[in-house]
Amino acid sequence: ERQRRSSSSHQSPAAAAMTSPPRRPHVMLVAFAAQGHLNPMLQFAGRLAAKGVDVTLASTQDARDRMLSARRDHDQAAASMTAAPRQVNIEIESFSDGYDHGGDVTFDIIRYMNQLGAAGPPNLTELILELGRRGRPITCLVNNPFVPWVLDVGARLGIPCATLWIQSYALYAMYRSHHQDPSRFEENGSHLTIPGLPPIRTEDLPSLVRADNPYQIFTRLLAEQFEKMKANRWVFANSIAELESEIIETVAELQHIKPVGPLVPVTLLGQSKSDSWNVRADMWAAEPDCLGWLDRQADNSVIYISLGSFATVSAEQMAELAWVLKNSKVPFLWVAKPKRGESDVGLPEGFVEETSDQGRVVSWCPQTDVLEHQALAAFLTHCGWNSTLETLSAGVPVIAFPQWTDQPTNAKFLVDVFRVGVRLQVGPNGLVSREEFERCRRELMTGEIAGEMRKNAQRWKSVLRTAAADGGSSDRNIQEFVDELISLDPQPESADPSGQ
């Protein structure tokens, strides 16, 4: 310390500023504490860090604790969430949502969102101020939907703001249209026409714009997000220009939203696992031997079933799918999570034991590694946008089984626009029958269209990799953002550590 002070005393403040290394821009990304929100935010953090930006990912204390716990349980303590990201200038920070250790096990989502909206702003503000006191001021604040109040925090602190839209352009256009005129979405049974989109049936609509939407609080949060981000300097989308070119070119409002996707783990994009920014944000630990079991299966033989981290299906529906898997004799890997606060996943009694030589049922697995495995033949998916981009990046055909939120719309695009799969049809009793499961399984794995679906999936795999590669369309947008951050970030006037 004495040597640094003595050395700097021989320079003028101007000379010290010229010789001191420039400070990196520091971006804070604030994510809603759900797996589907954390994943793309952390991947965006990795892209920025790989270009020399210091990044802080901030979410709730409970989310941070669960990510760290999942890492430890997966025997990766040496590369824990606090150690590995530092290699790529990423720090993980947390703020209190009022439920720092998981809160009430009954989990009332409306009460939780209200509590988050009350506790989040002051606690995030204090975190940002504390980072400033530590010499890590924020250059830009980035939020994603369901935490619109982050933009208010940025405005009060004078920090330029951006939003990462974590769904498709198609969903953005639909939500904006609903925000402007909700009455257009109230005519059940008709086709909805939105510029740049194919005709949308009622069953293709995202649940947050439907008349029977049980989660009006999220619809209100989206409306807040649209209003608040009018003042944003940047808006980004987790998509690529080539994937949704028609809607981007048709809807003028979308043309200022820069695609930076696909925000998926880099191994799916042809990058090495040793890449310093191949970071993950799993909130559950993967069960052992998922990949070892896949290694023992024949190429192009396994059906992978995962319905996401949030939605669950009824025991009756689980029984129909279990019957088909058992009787088809096809190897399967099934991710089945119990409902919150419960331990039973709802499978028929004896199913796991009776099919132990045929398949595996696990509570969580490393989906990226599964999708790129040579044994995989098809993915039965809930069609969340993250899973949609991951399966397109991996070139794997899908059996679409959407549940809620954006999933029906994503399923529509996977089947009718991207043409990489088939969609399960729900019967009049609200269930997908075993016969329907079997029809789709045969069609995609051995039917006449199987080859075409796999060929289309491989084509999209190439398109997405090209967009994300150095100099690709999404990579150029990220680089442009980084260049703007560098031009915005004020450099210190003096190298004197005292700041005088």
Tokens of 495: 């190298």
pLDDT at 92 over 70: yes
Which whole number is the average pLDDT over 161-168? 98
Residue 480 amino acid letter: E
pLDDT at 493 over 60: no
Which whole number is the average pLDDT over 234-256? 95
Give the model's pLDDT for residue 71: 61
Residue 367 amino acid letter: Q
Indicate the pLDDT class of residue 70, thresholds 50, 70 and 90.
low
Tokens of 204: 């293709």
Which whole number is the average pLDDT over 229-257? 95
Q: CA distances (Å), 326 to each of 92, 351, 358, 432, in order?
A: 43, 8, 8, 16
Which whole number is the average pLDDT over 272-286? 55
Give the model's pLDDT for residue 285: 58
147: which residues sit within 8 A by CB, 6+ positions away? 30, 31, 32, 116, 120
Residue 6: exposed, middle, or buried by beta-carbon count in 10 A (0-12, 13-18, 19+)?
A: exposed
Give the model's pLDDT for residue 5: 36
**Rounded CA separation 90/74 (Å):** 21
Flag the least confident range among 145-159, 182-196, 204-218, 343-357. Answer: 182-196
In three-state secondary structure terms, 164 is strand
Give the model's pLDDT for residue 275: 52
Give the model's pLDDT for residue 313: 85
Tokens of 152: 């208010």
Q: What predicted TM-score, i.e. pTM, was given to this entire model?
A: 0.89
Which whole number is the average pLDDT over 119-140? 97
In three-state secondary structure terms, 130 is helix
Give the model's pLDDT for residue 352: 95
**Rounded CA separation 118/122 (Å):** 8
Give the model's pLDDT for residue 307: 87
pLDDT at 87 over 90: no
Mean pLDDT estimate for the chain: 86
Give the model's pLDDT for residue 81: 41
Flag the least confident range among 3-12, 382-391, 430-439. Answer: 3-12
Give the model's pLDDT for residue 13: 41
DSSP state of 424: P
Give the model's pLDDT for residue 211: 82
Is residue 301 within 8 A of residue 331, CB to CB? The reply is: yes
Which whole number is the average pLDDT over 461-471? 97
pLDDT at 449 over 80: yes
pLDDT at 497 over 80: no
Give the model's pLDDT for residue 89: 77
Helix axes 434-445, 315-328, angle to 10 degrees: 50
In three-state secondary structure terms, 192 is strand
Q: What is the dihedral of CA 381, 385, 391, 393, to 10 degrees?
A: 180
Which whole number is the average pLDDT over 306-319? 82
Give the model's pLDDT for residue 17: 41
Question: 27-42 pLDDT, tens per residue?
Answer: 999 999 888 999 999 9
pLDDT at 83 over 70: no
pLDDT at 496 over 70: no
Give the model's pLDDT for residue 72: 59
Which whole number is the average pLDDT over 31-60? 94
Indicate the pLDDT class of residue 84, thresholds 50, 70 and 90.
very low
Give the model's pLDDT for residue 35: 86
**Rounded CA separation 100/432 (Å):** 39
Question: 347-394 pLDDT, tens per residue?
Answer: 999 999 999 999 999 988 889 999 999 999 999 999 999 999 999 999
pLDDT at 310 over 80: no
Give the model's pLDDT for residue 86: 41
Residue-range domains of the chain with CATH: 2-281+470-488 (3.40.50.2000), 290-462 (3.40.50.2000)
Tokens of 460: 């999209």
pLDDT at 232 over 70: yes
Give the model's pLDDT for residue 103: 55
**Active-site hit among 26, 37, 178, 382:** 37
Which whole number is the average pLDDT over 402-431? 96
Question: 472-489 pLDDT, tens per residue?
Answer: 999 999 999 999 999 986
Q: Is 37 a catalytic residue?
A: yes
Residue 295: exposed, middle, or buried by beta-carbon count in 10 A (0-12, 13-18, 19+)?
A: exposed
In three-state secondary structure terms, 401 is coil
Report the 10 Å Cβ neighbour count for 180. 9
Indicate the pLDDT class of residue 19, thresholds 50, 70 and 90.
very low
**Rounded CA separation 13/185 (Å):** 62
Residue of 121 and 69 predicted with greater confidence: 121
Give the model's pLDDT for residue 340: 61
